[in-house]
Amino acid sequence: MRILVLGSGAREHALCWKLKQSTLVSKLFCAPGNAGVGMVAELIDLIPTDTKAVVVFALRERIDLVVVGPEGPLSVGVADALDKEHIPVFGPRKSAALLESSKAFAKEFMHRHGIPTARYAVFNADEELEARAFLRHANYPAVIKADGLAAGKGVIISQTEAEASHALDEIFNQRIFGEAGNRIVIEEYMEGEEASVFAITDGTAYAMLSTAQDHKRILDGDRGKNTGGMGAYAPAPIVTQAVMEQVEREILEPTLKGLREEGRIYRGVIYLGLMIRNNRARVVEYNVRFGDPEAEVVLPLIESDVADIMLKAAEGRLTEALPVKLFSASAVTVVIASQGYPDSYQTGETIHGLEEFTPKREIDEGTVVFHGATKMDGHNYVTAGGRVLAVTAVGYADDLKATITQAYNAVAQIGFNGAYYRSDIGKKALVQPVHESNG
Ligand code: AMP
Ligand code: GLY
């Protein structure tokens, strides 16, 4: 099988690393990838949102499967364009990717199909007066979200009406989220703990993957600015067997049924961002792809052949790949970022210590370093972005603590000028009752 992966982060490195382990894969390309991805795939200089270029490349290289990493290409219809040429693609069509690319669409979709989520109202930029009237009677804290894609940063939680009113002004008049803020969703604040659930689907059949928990804030103790994600662990003990059953019955199955009824073709992975309280989950958001850094912990826990699963999902015959087997193990990934991220930061810093992380060590110790943003400078890896590396450990299912230690032991061996990481990834799970965890 000849596979093309689209994207350039640690998620795509993890995807390529996992696909490379399949005996079915004869050739692996990644566009554009990064220096780390270059160790496992041939890098192609192509912009993933340039759907025409993706199709031309896939036809020329006789690609059997395109795996889409990020949401951007899906939201502009890369799956539709590939599908037109009968090239199997792991990733939903544009009309289904709206679940992520429009928060107003997602809320209305959940409302139509009775899927549990926070109460909400939607306002366009020309309805500022109506939005202000609504805020006068809202409960606080209230959550204000830009409708469009904003790289996880388009959410403002306001404690008072004055704060909410200021947020409205920033979105509609100062346009801090640009076009993404042409519409907003105002919603009820949900208390609880967040977790992510992933399922691979062909639109009808589905296979649950491991659950995971991200760490979105820059500082220890979930303080400071929001980032793309500073680390993750899997599975998440907060998602007990009972919660998982509720998620499948009340969220996942109605979502897939709703998509089918509305003629929105979904073949890929669906990511449910959940808020859990009193053993019940409600939807915070949908994503139409793997999370980053969640992919770095969810993918290593898949035992079955990922290339086989993804191809069968893309071809609408996922049932042939079921059941998808998972390892009974735990995984932890710690992101090493550039000092200053998520604001401005330096790049081009030489990275030390990576030479220790050979494939042999990967197999012996279950430790692997996925590259998020690196470049080659002569024989050296140098930093090339905010989230530079995702240092990942896989260990025993019933000893997350040891897996965390293993990840941090590896982190300690790697460095560059201004390297920054959180020191509490996974800690939250250690206070949960682990005997209820799912796999
Ligand atoms: P989103 O981009 O919709 O996932 O929102 C980003 C983050 O904002 C989420 O991961 C939550 O931490 C927080 N958030 C979003 N919506 C809500 C809500 N209704 N209640 C509480 N927190 C929320
Ligand atoms: N880590 C959060 C996301 O990928 O959206």
Task: For residue 436, name the pLDDT band (cuts at 50, 70, 90).
Answer: very low
- In this structure, what CATH number is given to the domain that contains residue 41? 3.40.50.20
Number of domains in the chain: 2
What is the band of 151 on the pLDDT scale with cuts at 50, 70, 90?
confident
Report the 10 Å Cβ neighbour count for 248: 15
Q: Is the CB of 231 under 6 A from ligand 2?
A: no
Q: Is residue 6 part of a domain?
A: yes
For residues 93 and 131, state if they share a domain.
no
Range of the domain at 126: 119-188
Cβ of residue 234 lying under 6 Å from some atom of ligand 1: no
Q: Give residue 317's pLDDT.
A: 98
Together in a domain, 83 and 126: no
Q: Which regions of 142-191 does DSSP assign to beta strands (E)? A: 142-146, 155-158, 183-188
For the cut 50, the answer to whether the pLDDT of residue 439 exceeds it is no
Residue 195 in domain: no
Q: Given its phi and psi angles, is residue 301 left (phi above 0), alpha (psi -120 to 50 degrees) or beta? A: alpha
Residue 332: inside a domain: no
Nearest CA to ligand 1 atom 3: 285
Residues in the chain, how many?
439
Indicate whether 67 belongs to any domain. yes
Cα distances (Å, whole numbers) of residue 415 to 39, 231, 350, 353, 409:
20, 17, 8, 7, 12
pLDDT digits (tens, 9 = 90+) for 72-117: 999 999 999 999 999 999 999 999 999 999 999 999 999 999 999 9
pLDDT of amino acid 432 = 55
Q: Quick one: 408 exposed, middle or buried, by C-beta within 10 A (0-12, 13-18, 19+)?
A: middle
Same-domain status, 7 and 92? yes
- pLDDT at residue 437 greater than cutoff 50: no
In a domain, residue 162? The reply is yes
- Residue entry with tokens 């193990």: 329
CB of residue 187 inside a 6 A radius of ligand 1? yes
Mutate to test the pocket of ligand 1, among 147, 230, 283, 284 (most ligand atoms within 8 A of CB): 284
Shared domain for 52 and 95, answered yes or no, is yes
Among 52, 70, 99, where does a domain finish?
99
> Does residue 147 line the site of ligand 1, with CB under 6 A?
no
Task: Let me know if residue 136 belongs to a domain.
Answer: yes
Contacts (Cβ under 8 Å, ≥6 apart) of 106: 98, 99, 100, 285, 286
Chain-wide mean pLDDT for the chain? Answer: 94
- 289: helix, coil or strand? coil
Among 68, 213, 214, 285, residue to substitute to test ligand 2 (most atoms within 8 Å of Cβ): 214
Q: What is the pTM of this model?
A: 0.95
Instruction: Tell whether the torsion through CA atoms of 300, 94, 282 and 137 is positive or negative.
Output: positive
Among protein residues, the one whose CA lies closest to atom 5 of ligand 2: 291
Decide whether any atom of ligand 2 lies within 6 Å of the 291 Cβ.
yes
- pLDDT value at residue 242: 97
pLDDT digits (tens, 9 = 90+) for 45-75: 999 999 999 999 999 999 999 999 999 999 9
| Residues 93, 24 share a domain | yes
Pairing between β-strand 65-68 and β-strand 2-7 as defined by DSSP bridges: parallel
Q: Which of 291, 383, 403 is nearest to 337 (CA)?
A: 383
Please tell me whether residues 129 and 179 are part of one structural domain.
yes
Pairing of strands 120-124, 65-68: unpaired
- Contact in structure between 103 and 185 (CB atoms under 8 Å): yes
